[in-house]
A and B are shown apart, each in its own frame.
Chain A
Amino acid sequence: MTYTNPLRDPNDRRLPRIAGPCGLVLFGVTGDLSRKKIMPAIYDLANRGLLPPGFSLVGFARRDWADQDFAQVVHDSVKSYARTEFREEVWQQLAEGFRFVPGDFDDDIAFDQLRRTIEELDLARGTDGNHAFYLAIPPGFFGTVVGQLKEHGLADGGGADSWRRVVVEKPFGHDLESAQELNNVLAGVFSSGSIFRIDHYLGKETVQNILAMRFANTMFEPIWNANYVDHVQITMAEDGGIGGRAGYYDGIGAARDVIQNHLLQLMSLVAMEEPTSFDAESLRIEKQKVLSSVVLPRRLDLTTARAQYAEGWAGGQKVAGFLEEEGIKKSSTTETYAAVTLNIATRRWAGVPFYLRTGKRLGRRVTEVAIVFKKAPHQPFGESSTEDLTENALVIRIQPDEGVTLRFGSKVPGTAMEIRDVNMDFAYGGSFTESSPEAYERLILDVLLGDPPLFPRHEEVELSWKILDPILEHWAKQDAAGKAKPDSYESGTWGPKSADAMLARDGRSWRRP
């Protein structure tokens, strides 16, 4: 007989889901990701009462630290970066569960000690053998670490009821082949249901709201197709440069870093058909359908653009160009700006190009999806009255200033009939809680609960690479032939002329986000 908890009631929506007894093992505790995102998110979860009693956090790094030193690092990170207020009793609940294991990733003794630490926690803190391994480390080490986890019996839990999960961050490879290799490494140790790939964009409230907006309302879906939509622009712009990440960024570039994961995921949410339900499997099926219907234009030289930022003035500060950044070779052809045109070969989207662009050192930090509609087929108003009227547009602002803008024409007050664009604005922060949870809180909780809808599966990752690989190869071929190099654009502007030309060829232009 299956057990039903008498205290649970599907109608009781006040009760939050609290993760069962478990612990998290964090590899790479000194990195920015751990300090700025993961540790504060864990504290915020505890503060909201969503972590189980006895939750434990084990740090693993090549540092000569004791448990207290690690606790101090977490304490500092929580104090500076946590979203919610610092409360002593919450800290006390967490603090007893901090452990630190010093060692290298290939150090057998350290992994033995890690196993003993976990077993000790199961006894002392009642974590019941449930542990997630968070690999906040460069992907080059994934193989070594998961191999060690397997070898030291850490990859499968002690009992039938306990679980072991692994969490990895992008990049998921640098092309299809390496993505498959990476997946083989992980899949050789963990089952596919136990591998959680974090694309933090999918944890954002506004991204999840795309699905709510499309499928919970009646007024958007009827026009969400090639009959009404002219084209779609998806933009993720950063105002910063590569900072100190030259080692990581050189050779990777904007397309691999952003388009392959964030932008293609956004595109699949915007373009997908209605899933049969909102469980992980149904969502994955629909996203996979979109990704496998993507067709690249024939002439990649005319429908893609790539560029590097040149020195210039960004937001009132003089900044260096990409090739002058420390650690970047003068001859580097890594792009810091990439724009691509994609077609989706389905009845819904035939003839509607999706323009995806991303770049560093652009005008401002902004991510948004713009659905640009066709012009009205007939205007009863004279040409002069509609001169200022452009296309209707629906803009989903992902960050910052989350919300939705609807642009349409309206009569200018006065005796003449003059029609001009106006905006109708919905600000997420204005209508709902001002402190919506960080994407990482949601995602870490989902890992601990074993709830996978918001994590991309390896099939999606591989399909994304299949879309991007021909473009990357085309660029590599141009480089090899010495025919074309990445263009350059002045820092603090909205990208290279070649990207503008790319849209101009289709008779369109980029929105200013």
Chain B
Amino acid sequence: MIELTDTNAAAIASEFVRARKKAGSPAMGMVMTMVVVVDEDIAGDVMAVARHASHEHPARVLGVILGDARGAAQVNAQVGAGAGWSGETALIRLKGEVVKHPESVVLPLLLPDSPVAIYWPTDPPEDTANDPLGALAQRRITDAAGAKRGKGKAIHTQCASYTKGNTDLAWTRITPWRALLAAALDQHHFQVTGASVTAERISPSADLLGAWLGDRLKVPVTRKNSSGPGITEVVLETKEGPIGISRGDGKLATYSSPGHPDRPIALKRRDLPELLAEELRRLDEDDVYAETARKLVKMGRKA
């Protein structure tokens, strides 16, 4: 890692080239630029998550720390390649007036031609697509469960400002649940008459799962509370009997369906690098998330 103080984008860019040459100009095959907007206190952890995710998607990872916006502008950066990264990385600290213009530092550092993804691990702007940094990216990833302020409302705020390219990790977390439920209805061609989702009191994932089921099945979905962890039970009511998946320990679930014995199924809560890697696999619009977000906003209005 090279420390650059009171620097600018051009100096950071030439440091990238220098680091690459020093490593013997290896073919990097970087497929995207990933911008991570992060607070100073968790920067280390979040960059570690990005490093894991970059194993699957070699990327130029730009961590951006937005500091105090008062005072004279200053750009400091740590630049490096290698050391566990499959691409290049820079952690950029902004202070003073430049905090209001972070895109001016990031724009010259985007890789040519390839896509840009941006990730807010904690509190994202209310409308990410109209954020100066968010506007540079075609994929914007938020994490409602990571919100420090107004956690109960975070997913609703994001869904209300939904723009093409947005997704939330709360949605990623329910992929295995959705896969199992869809597979259940591949098997049982039953008419679903109602559904329920049981989870911790505040669970953005449970809200999305309920909205998805309501949107696809056109049935009322009941939301019940439990002590968690995360989502603990989903039930689809049918005339033939309930189809249910219940998971008490966040690891091993029980799958039950009419006319069949109950069976265990592994359904582990996944960690952040895995979730982020899944998000980066698709860089185009997630149509199903778009519909689900719309449904969630509609449900919120009625309530």
Interface residues of A, Cβ cutoff 8 Å to B? 3, 5-9, 11-16, 18, 20-21, 46-47, 49, 52-54, 87-90, 92-93, 96, 123-126, 425-427, 430-435
Contact = CB atoms under 8 A, between A and B. Distances in A.
Interface stretch (B10-18, B130-138, B182-190): B182-190
B182 to A, nearest CB: 4
A123 B263 CA distance: 12
B192 A434 contact: no
Contacts of A5: 182, 185-186
A125 B263 contact: yes
Contacts of B286: 14
30 contacts: A5-B182, A5-B185, A6-B192, A6-B218, A7-B185, A8-B185, A11-B287, A11-B288, A15-B175, A15-B182, A18-B180, A20-B186, A21-B187, A21-B260, A46-B266, A49-B266, A53-B265, A88-B251, A89-B251, A89-B266, A89-B268, A93-B263, A123-B261, A125-B263, A126-B260, A126-B263, A427-B29, A430-B27, A434-B56, A434-B86
A7 B268 contact: no
B70 interface: no
B260 A54 contact: yes
Contacts of B29: 426-427, 430-431
A435 B261 CA distance: 35
Contacts of B58: 430-431
Given A5-B186, A18-B180, A430-B28, A93 B264 contact: yes
Contacts of A431: 29-31, 58
B181 interface: yes
Contacts of A6: 185, 192, 216-218
Interface string B210-223: 00010011100000
A152 B163 CA distance: 60
A96 B288 contact: no
A425 B185 contact: no
B128 to A, nearest CB: 20
A426 B58 CA distance: 13
B126 to A, nearest CB: 26
Interface in B248-282: 251-252, 255, 257, 260-261, 263-268, 277-278, 282
Interface of B: 27-31, 55-58, 86, 175-176, 178-183, 185-187, 189, 192, 213, 216-218, 251-252, 255, 257, 260-261, 263-268, 277-278, 282, 286-288
A90 B176 CA distance: 14
Contact of A7 (B175, B182, B287): B182
A63 B94 CA distance: 69
A312 B267 CA distance: 53
Contacts of A46: 266
A424 to B, nearest CB: 9
Given A126-B261, A431-B58, A7 B216 contact: yes
A5 B187 CA distance: 9
Given A14-B175, A87-B266, A426-B29, A93 B183 contact: no
B189 to A, nearest CB: 4
Contacts of A90: 266
A124 B264 CA distance: 12
Contacts of B217: 6-7
A14 B55 CA distance: 20
Contacts of A427: 27, 29
Nearest to B249: A89
A307 B215 CA distance: 66
A14 B175 CA distance: 7
B176 A49 contact: yes
Given A52-B183, A89-B251, A430 B261 contact: no
A8 B31 contact: no
Contact of A20 (B56, B178, B187): B187
A320 B267 CA distance: 51
Contacts of B30: 431
A434 B55 contact: yes
A236 to B, nearest CB: 25
A383 to B, nearest CB: 31
Nearest to B31: A431
A190 B60 CA distance: 53
Contacts of B185: 5-8
Given A430-B58, A434-B56, A435-B56, 5 more contacts: A9-B287, A13-B282, A18-B183, A431-B31, A434-B55
A31 to B, nearest CB: 27
A5 B186 CA distance: 6
A231 to B, nearest CB: 27
Nearest to B191: A6
Given A426-B29, A427-B27, A53 B264 contact: yes
Contact of B56 (A88, A93, A433): A433
A171 B178 CA distance: 41
A7 B236 CA distance: 12
A7 B178 contact: yes
A96 B255 CA distance: 14
Nearest to B265: A53
Contacts of B257: 126
A93 B160 CA distance: 39
Contacts of A430: 27-29, 58, 86
A53 B263 contact: yes
A92 B252 contact: yes
A93 B266 contact: yes
Contacts of B264: 53, 89, 92-93, 96
B229 to A, nearest CB: 14
Nearest to A2: B189
A314 B178 CA distance: 52
Nearest to A434: B55
A89 B175 contact: no
A141 B137 CA distance: 59
A54 B175 contact: no
Nearest to B215: A6
A124 B213 CA distance: 30
Contact of B186 (A8, A93, A125): A8
Contacts of A432: 31, 56-57
Give the top 8 A-B pairs by smallest Cβ distance, nearest first. Answer: A430-B29, A126-B260, A431-B29, A53-B263, A89-B252, A53-B255, A7-B182, A54-B263
Nearest to A90: B266
Contacts of B57: 432-433
A497 B55 CA distance: 44
B179 A93 contact: no
A124 B216 CA distance: 32
B290 to A, nearest CB: 9
Given A14-B282, A89-B268, A8 B182 contact: yes
Contacts of B218: 6
Nearest to A436: B56
Contacts of B183: 18, 20, 52
A471 B57 CA distance: 46
Contact of A3 (B189, B213, B260): B189
A408 to B, nearest CB: 16
